[in-house]
Amino acid sequence: MSTILYQPPADPALLSQPPQRPWRHKPRSFTTAVALAVIVPAVITAALFFLSPIPGAIVLVVVYFPLQLLASGIAAWATRGVRGIADSVIIVNAIGATVFSFVVLASLIGSLIVRGLRALSAHFVYQNSVYISPSTPLDYGGIGHALIGTILVVAVATAVAVPIGIATAIYITEVRGRAVPYVRFFVQAMSGVPSVVAGLFILTIAVSTGWFSQNAFAGGLAYAILMLPTVARTAEEVLKLIPDELRTGALALGSTRARTVMRVVLPAAKTGIITAILLGIARVIGETAPLLLAAGNNDGTVLNPFGQAIASIPVYIFNNVAVPYPDAVARAWGAALVLMILIAVLFTVARFLGRGRVGRAK
Amino acid sequence: MSTAEFEEVAMMESDLLAPRAIAVSELRAENVSVWFGKRKVLENVNIDFPKNTVTALIGPSGCGKSTFIRTLNRLHELIPGAALAGSVLYEGKDIYSSDIDPVHIRLQIGMVFQKPNPFPSMTIRGNVLSGLKLSGMKRDNHDDIVEQTLTAAGLWNEVKDRLNHAAGDLSGGQQQRLVIARALAVQPSVLLMDEPCSALDPASTLKIEETIRQLSKEVTIVIVTHNMQQAVRVADNTAFFLAQEGEPGHIVEQGLTTDIFGQPQDQRTLDYVNGRFG
Amino acid sequence: MAGVRTCGPLASISLGQHPVMANPDLDQRDLHSAATSHRGDRVFSRVVTGAAFASLVVLAGIAIFLGIQAVYAFQTEGLAFIFSTGWDINTDPPTAGIWGMLYGSVLLAVIGLAIAVPVALMLSIFMVFISPPKLATVLTNLIDLLAAIPSVIIGLWAFYILNPPAEEWQALLNQYLGWIPIFENTSQNFSGTPFIAGLVLAIMMIPIITSISREVLSRTPPELVNAAEALGCSLWTMLRFVALPYGRGGIVGGVMLGLGRALGETIAVFFVLKLTFETNWYHIIESGGGSIATLIVSRFGEVSGPEELNLLLAAGFFLFLGTIAVNMVANLIVSRTGRLKK
């Protein structure tokens, strides 16, 4: 008896079979079971929704979800036996959680856009709130002063947090001293500081030393506390991606450590560092509590960061919520929309830069 | 006697002589072609795995042997982009027909992987019984199952006093035998092994080969191996896979191990088994 | 580095950046300092080291400055500061007890976790094991978007959009399930309840917990998943015996990080919770509750004098202690299980 050699099949159809996915063909019983499991609860719920006096959204959730669980469980039991029930429970719950999150997000973004657009106009962006009271119609007044305030506060925060954050990252990746695990521990701990505590801290210093009072500078310091961990950690990741050959090459040419870092490593990591900064800004720009405490509020435009209390977008929103005048509330939504757009822009630019960096870092 | 009659008698005689022809086919692949997305990786594989035999699949790396055995227990379809054509018959029925539960198939056709993968969070005993828990099989003789499978895997004497120890403490060879016991606990009739010894030292390898020979009295075994001496040592039948550059792989030649290694018909088979490439 | 998210609002809590769970091999590079011999380098090194300790300085500063205030509070109020409730500024010195606030913060966090953890876990299971890959990517971006929304905007939305239906739901809950103690409500006022505040906190915690759980679950070793599949597992048994045991530590760590955020959350809670000084122990759909962070912000505007301000600062000190403690425990859990898995 000898071996069998390969022979292409005689039937040409077999020779050129197309690729198939037979595992996707479910038996009729399976598809009917799934269809029933989806349709029946929906029908029952719709019937209750239209016929009963219980308010709508509640019925949908309280009635539909358990019905769906039950129906899917039965369908699973009929097609796969007892083993399938646990799976169907998980799948229904997982889909439910996804839908829930999606609904919440849609509601948030949708309301921002719909309600915010009402107040949004050209003058909204550059006028301030002097002479504006909550009942003033939307044709007057705006967030110009708040925008400037936010910009000043963020500028101070960036000026403080970025050098320190990058220095921290340099310490961890370049200097690599013995205290690296402690530094990372403290940076991690610092990221857990609540924003209100940061504001309180700066306020305490201001009040007890009398060096400064509520102003953009104080607010910026409070922001810096919150921004530092983000900048430091992102910068650390970025610096770690820079290949060692760059460093050893520079050192071999006689460069000092300091010059290697400043002239070679940091420029190579430029886009990543900018990403770190943008992410840090995006993280703090919406924080209200620190500014409530450390920067206060002002209806007028303030340009001196070391001067008096200053407005900012989050505080502007804060002051216009729960006010019984619809125009004031509309202003709050408008400012919220502007803030969200700013944040979205920051993240988009950071992500865009991040993609480019991944391509170039090698 | 005419030539035709002579040939007929010769065929009947050779049928009587060839033990393989008498053994019942348990698992058979018919015209199996396999794709990943648009790329065809296997072409028209036809092979029989008779009951209670050991079949070795040999060939250079990358020619689709591992992919092929994953079509035999329906693990292939779990990879995104997977597609196939043809049929795999288990006890005469196509395992890909829509009324067959893939879980049921995987219980009948078990698998041992190249890297020993016992569950690190479970004890030795827990690992052996994990197949029952994962598939929902109910058995009440757990202690018997643990002892029988570990004995069949050749591990019982070494671990009988420490069944409640963590599985991660075992050596590589022991872990692989534990994995074999785990696969046996769900009572498969076929065991697929994807290079089970390639991550192990020679001593463990020999122990596992011994286990394979013993197991084949009860279980049909299909083993993918790079080690040709191993194929000679354990396998009744051998199939030689090859993929030319850019082409899908296919079985060049298959038959009794003694024939494949002793008198192969194809030059490529001869070259491969003599170590001239691969 | 697999799993590192350097973009997006959740970048700061990616496991890839965690001090221990990040890849340690990169730290073994052996370029260490012959360079300190050069004078300029020594200066550079000192400056950088000094700056790196800024975080330590700031943390110590917070602890000291606020801690001094806490000492002051104990001097004037004694232990009653922590264990009694009430805020009376008319007496001299003012009497204050923040127990209601301390307890309230914890209650809100618990309610938030009770909602957020199941949702986040299910969401991450969906993204890793059930959904098609493209949908998973979309969902990841949506979760990132949710994480990026500042709390003042969530508070704004909650006040105007979440409140009305939430009050309806609570009324119904009280109507049908009011015999259960936690759903009792005597005043029939369903606004400003711990439940709503907890729900808002949950919405803010879900992105954090989901992101970490998703990362951890997607790192389940594929060979273990293969082994389970070859043994005929179902989705549930695979989760129960392979994926969840593996991911347990990371998920718990993620939950604790979310908890830390919830304890410190101020503004969103401010809009939806009615602050009362009487401790609301378990009537979660009854109007009124406590939160330390919200106390600070709400009393700050009308502070009557330096004594009251000092009491607020003392309250802030306890908030600081609590959040730092939770954070440290979270890191301990994550790093310990991370090491075991290696």
Q: How confident is the model at residue C10 (pLDDT cuts 50, 70, 90)?
A: low
Chain B: partners with 3+ C-beta pairs within 8 Å: A, C
Measure in Å the smallest separation between the Cα of A13 and chain B Cα atoms.
Answer: 11
3-state secondary structure C277-328: CCCCCCCCCCCCECCHHHHHHHHHCCCCCHHHHHHHHHHHHHHHHHHHHHHH
Tokens of C146: 């949710």
* Closest chain B CA to residue A81: B136
d(CA A76, CA C229): 19
d(CA C44, CA C63): 29
Q: What is the mean pLDDT of chain C?
A: 83
Asked if B20 is an interface residue toward chain A (Cβ–Cβ < 8 A), one would say yes
**C2, pLDDT greater than 80:** no
Distances (CA, A) of A66 to A45, A96, B50, C177, C187: 11, 11, 50, 17, 31
Report helix, strand or coil for B170.
coil
CA-closest candidate to residue A237, choices C49, C219, C26, C29: C26
Q: What's the structural domain count of chain B? A: 1
By the 8 A CB rule, do B29 and B88 touch? Answer: yes
Chain B CB contacts of C223 under 8 Å are: 113, 115, 117
Among A246-250, C45-49, C90-94, C143-147, the range scoring the smallest mean pLDDT is C90-94
B102 part of a folded domain: yes
Contact residues, B window 44-73, toward A, CB-based 8 Å cutoff: 44
Chain A CB contacts of C331 under 8 Å are: 185, 188
d(CA A262, CA A255): 11
Decide which of A77, A102, A119 is a domain's last residue.
A119
Nearest to A5 among B86, B263, B266 (CB): B266
Contact C227 B117 (CB under 8 A): yes
| The CATH number fitting domain C99-341, selected from 1.10.3710.10, 3.60.15.10, 1.10.3720.10, 1.20.58.1910 | 1.10.3720.10
Nearest to A200 among C56, C66, C331 (CB): C66
Tokens of C4: 């590192």
End-to-end C-alpha distance for chain C, whole angstroms: 15
Q: What is the mean pLDDT of chain A?
A: 87
pLDDT in the model for residue C23: 44
* pLDDT, tens digit, 9 for 90 and up, residues C117-160: 999 999 999 999 999 989 999 999 999 999 999 999 999 999 99
Contact residues, C window 263-302, toward A, CB-based 8 Å cutoff: 263-267, 271, 293, 296-297, 300
Q: Where do the structural domains in chain C lie, given as residue ranges?
A: 99-341
Measure in Å the smallest separation between the Cα of C272 and chain A Cα atoms.
Answer: 10
By the 8 A CB rule, do C97 and C81 touch? Answer: yes
* Closest chain B CA to residue A11: B31
B100 part of a folded domain: yes
Question: Does one domain contain both A207 and A338?
Answer: yes
A17 part of a folded domain: no
- Phi (first) and psi of residue C231, to 5 degrees: -90, 5
Q: For residue A226, how far is the Cα from the chain centroid?
A: 15
**A219, pLDDT greater than 90:** yes
Asked if C44 is an interface residue toward chain A (Cβ–Cβ < 8 A), one would say yes
Contact A257 C45 (CB under 8 A): yes
B142 part of a folded domain: no
* Closest chain C CA to residue A314: C152
* Closest chain B CA to residue A84: B136
Asked if C56 is an interface residue toward chain A (Cβ–Cβ < 8 A), one would say yes
B139 part of a folded domain: no
Report helix, strand or coil for B167.
helix
Across C112-116, average pLDDT: 96
Measure in Å the smallest separation between the Cα of A182 and chain C Cα atoms.
Answer: 9
* pLDDT, tens digit, 9 for 90 and up, residues A108-145: 999 999 999 988 888 888 888 887 888 888 888 888 88
Contact C234 B103 (CB under 8 A): yes
Question: Does one domain contain both A111 and A185?
Answer: no
Nearest to B253 among A4, A18, A22 (CB): A4
| Interface A-C: count of C-beta contacts within 8 A | 315
Q: Which residue has the tokens 């720009």?
A: A285
Asked if A80 is an interface residue toward chain B (Cβ–Cβ < 8 A), one would say yes
Tokens of A252: 């071999």
| Interface B-C: count of C-beta contacts within 8 A | 66
A3 part of a folded domain: no
- At B23, which CATH number? 3.40.50.300
Chain B CB contacts of C234 under 8 Å are: 103, 134-136
Question: Does one domain contain both A36 and A175?
Answer: no
**C33, pLDDT greater than 80:** no
Nearest to A168 among C16, C55, C123 (CB): C55
d(CA A310, CA A293): 11
**A176, pLDDT greater than 70:** yes
Looking at chain B, which runs of residues are DSSP E strands?
Answer: 25-36, 39-50, 54-58, 82-90, 93-94, 109-112, 190-194, 220-224, 237-242, 250-256
Q: What is the pLDDT along chain B (278 residues), one digit of tens a residue?
A: 555 555 555 555 444 444 444 456 689 999 999 999 889 999 999 999 999 999 999 999 888 899 999 999 999 998 888 999 999 999 889 999 988 888 889 999 999 999 999 998 899 999 999 999 998 888 889 999 999 999 999 899 999 899 999 888 899 899 999 999 999 999 999 999 999 999 899 988 999 999 999 999 999 999 999 888 999 999 999 999 999 888 899 999 999 999 999 888 989 899 998 888 76
pLDDT in the model for residue B7: 54
Among A244-258, A332-346, B53-67, C190-204, the range scoring the smallest mean pLDDT is A244-258
Among A194-198, A253-257, B123-127, B270-274, the range scoring the smallest mean pLDDT is A253-257
Decide which of A86, A119, A152 is a domain's last residue.
A119
**C339, pLDDT greater than 50:** no
Chain A: partners with 3+ C-beta pairs within 8 Å: B, C
**C4, pLDDT greater than 50:** no
* Closest chain A CA to residue B138: A83
B245 part of a folded domain: yes
Contact B44 A18 (CB under 8 A): no
B166 part of a folded domain: no
Measure in Å the smallest separation between the Cα of A338 and chain B Cα atoms.
Answer: 42
Chain A CB contacts of B98 under 8 Å are: 22, 25-27
Is residue C8 left, alpha or beta, with left meaning phi > 0 and alpha meaning psi from -120 to 50?
left
Across A40-54, average pLDDT: 80
Q: Which residue has the tokens 């264990």?
A: C83
Q: For residue A145, how far is the Cα from the chain centroid?
A: 26
Question: Does one domain contain both A298 and A187?
Answer: yes
Q: What percent of chain A has pLDDT over 90?
A: 38
Asked if A252 is an interface residue toward chain B (Cβ–Cβ < 8 A), one would say no
- Phi (first) and psi of residue A130, to 5 degrees: -65, 140
B77 part of a folded domain: yes
Q: What's the structural domain count of chain A? A: 2
d(CA C189, CA C197): 15
Helix axes B172-185, C222-230, angle to 10 degrees: 30
Q: Which domain holds residue B228?
A: 19-118+188-273
Q: Which domain holds residue A108?
A: 29-119
B143 part of a folded domain: no
Alpha helix stretches (DSSP H) within B18-123: 19-22, 65-72, 102-108
* Closest chain A CA to residue B251: A6
d(CA A319, CA A314): 9
Measure in Å the smallest separation between the Cα of C333 and chain B Cα atoms.
Answer: 17
A22 part of a folded domain: no
- What letters, b where the CB count within 10 A reaches 16 and e where it falls short, cover B84-108? bbbbbbbeeeebbeeebbbbebbbb
A348 part of a folded domain: yes
Tokens of B82: 């997977």
CA-closest candidate to residue C295, choices C30, C87, C57, C26: C87
Question: Does one domain contain both A80 and A209?
Answer: no
Question: Does one domain contain both A174 and A258?
Answer: yes
Pick the residue of A257, A341, A348, A352 with the most C CBs within 10 A to test the interface with C by mutation.
A257
Question: Does one domain contain both A207 and A61?
Answer: no
Contact B251 A2 (CB under 8 A): no
| Interface A-B: count of C-beta contacts within 8 A | 75
pLDDT in the model for residue C342: 33
Pick the residue of B71, B117, B139, B187 with the most C CBs within 10 A to test the interface with C by mutation.
B117
Contact C226 B73 (CB under 8 A): no
Question: Does one domain contain both A109 and A148?
Answer: no
pLDDT in the model for residue B6: 53
pLDDT in the model for residue A59: 67
* pLDDT, tens digit, 9 for 90 and up, residues B123-143: 999 999 999 999 888 888 999
* Closest chain C CA to residue B119: C224
Among A22-36, B90-104, C29-43, C224-238, the range scoring the smallest mean pLDDT is C29-43
By the 8 A CB rule, do C185 and C279 touch? Answer: no
By the 8 A CB rule, do C283 and C178 touch? Answer: no
Q: How confident is the model at residue C80 (pLDDT cuts 50, 70, 90)?
A: confident
pLDDT in the model for residue C9: 59
Chain A CB contacts of C11 under 8 Å are: 230, 233-234, 279
Please give the model's pTM, rounded to 2 decimal places: 0.86
Pick the residue of C5, C10, C12 with the most A CBs within 10 A to test the interface with A by mutation.
C12
Question: Does one domain contain both A62 and A160?
Answer: no
CA angle B169–B171–B174, rounded 5-degree value: 105
Torsion of CA A300, A303, A307, A309, to 10 degrees: 40
Measure in Å the smallest separation between the Cα of C338 and chain A Cα atoms.
Answer: 16
Contact residues, A window 266-295, toward C, CB-based 8 Å cutoff: 272, 275, 279, 282-283, 285-289, 292-293
Chain C CB contacts of B103 under 8 Å are: 232-234
Pick the residue of C17, C45, C153, C311 with the most A CBs within 10 A to test the interface with A by mutation.
C153
